[in-house]
Amino acid sequence: MQSSTSGATPSLHVAAEPIPTPPRLPVLGNLLQLPRGRLTQHLMGVAPDFDGIFEIDFAGFRVPFVTSAALAAELCDEKRFRKIVKPPLSILRALAGDGLFTAHQDEPNWGKAHRILVPAFAQRARRAYFDAMLDVAGQLVAKWEASAGAPIEVSEDMTRLTLDTIALCGFGYRFESFASAELHPFLQAMGRVLDETMGRLTRHRWLTRARFMSNRRYDRDIAEMHALVDEVIRERRAHPVQSRDLLGLMLEAVDPVSKEGLDDANIRYQVITFLIAGHETTSGLLSFVLRLLLEHPEVLAQARDEVDAVLAGGRTPEYDDLGRLDVIDRILKETLRLWPTAPAFAVAPFEDTLLGGRYPIARNRQVTVLLPSLHRDPKVWTDPERFDIDRFLPENEAKIPSAAYKPFGNGQRSCIGRQFAIMEAKLALALILQRLEFECADGRPTAAIRETLTLKPDGFRLRVRRRAPGRAAAAAA
């Protein structure tokens, strides 16, 4: 019996069976098996032992993980399932409150903020962000040109790029991250908070409570981040500008449904949300892209040829050029298939239900979709570990089941800034390919991955050099 997707609730006594789980200990469950800092990778290793679903016991908090496209299709039915905020997102609420990403479905500010902010990511608005994006991407390339021959920490510089981009485009604020060898204190604080958030997920509650110094640092980091954002809001209120950026919208716009605006506390949480989501995921994407291109020089050559043709003569990119970067678009999509930098999303059923006609899921129980494994479902993807950008040629992409590829989440709670992120990544990658040659600083790219709320290559360093003058023009000719 297949479970209904019409919203009807099947009987939990028909063909019901327990969700399979790896061997576990009494009381602690699977907690001692979960490596700190490698949770997603551990779960990816567990997934092939099960048929699309398994359960992990976090010391009494049991979470089913789904890796099958067929089961994910049911979970993406918003008539049956809704997004739920549980760990790690519920832990992050200390920092991001009821911002878009961490808000509960029934919190009024989620609906108000979503309706107010959607226009900020429409095509017309994205075009208005282009010059600021180009400014920051140019700073990245200039820094790399000046560092020719020296090892470059890729993920760190991509973090600088994406934080400065979302801050400038969204809030008119310049972190000036490329002006210093050290990451901005805001970024350092954010990194520590995200590390601690994931640490609390794989640590028993009493151990977290006993870490007095770490907890004080965690609280202080959050307070300092809130203080900086509150100052940005106060400064904008004191000196209004003619801008329809994210901050301008949140300060001035009124929700068309409730006829209310957002208060300053919620605006703070929305700014924090965009700074986290707007830089963490895109920086990881760009870092993975460069690593994969080095591992696949034939694709790197294909991308460089496209950039040389679209930006013939080495000219500066313009907004309309981005739509002509088809190879780069497919590179980004295939990278997000293998390494979706936000690696999971969680939902819960409105009512008791059977998943796949077999597995009982109680009302409000969290079910997590593990995206790197979903994107490797062998029933959908041929040779799923292979990096193959032709999967996203139009005729092939049309055949991919919608639930098999979810790098930006699902439905009304999917990432509101996904087109902004792709635009930013396309532009940055085009500039890098146009102006720089690069190679791995350590002989070959390491396979190590750093996990916080997102995934990034760890220890990945490049050496770069300027492309020879006239080379791009000759290639275009």
Please indicate whether residue 440 is annotated as part of the active site: no
Catalytic residue among 415, 420, 440, 460: 415
- Report, as ranges of residue numbers, the positions in the chain whose pLDDT lies below 50: 1-12, 470, 473, 475-477
Pairing relation of β-strands 152-153 and 353-355? Answer: unpaired
pLDDT of residue 336: 98
Judge contact between 49 and 22, C-beta under 8 A.
Answer: yes
Alpha-carbon span 62 to 64, nearest angstrom: 7
Please indicate whether residue 178 is annotated as part of the active site: no
* pTM to 2 decimal places: 0.91
CB neighbours of residue 25 within 10 Å = 12
Catalytic residue among 54, 171, 392, 408: 408
Catalytic residue among 67, 281, 368, 452: 281
Find, among 197, 196, 157, the residue nearest to 178 by Cα: 157
pLDDT of residue 15: 65
Binding site annotation covers 415?
Answer: yes
pLDDT of residue 14: 56
73-106 pLDDT per residue, tens: 999 999 999 999 988 889 899 999 999 999 998 8
31-476 topology per CATH:
Cytochrome p450 (1.10.630)
- Domain parsing of the chain, residue ranges: 31-476
Q: DSSP letter string over 109-136? A: HHHHHHHHHGGGGSHHHHHHHHHHHHHH
pLDDT of residue 471: 53
Residue 399: partners with Cβ closer than 8 Å, 6 or more residues away: none
Please indicate whether residue 65 is annotated as part of the active site: no
CB neighbours of residue 476 within 10 Å = 15
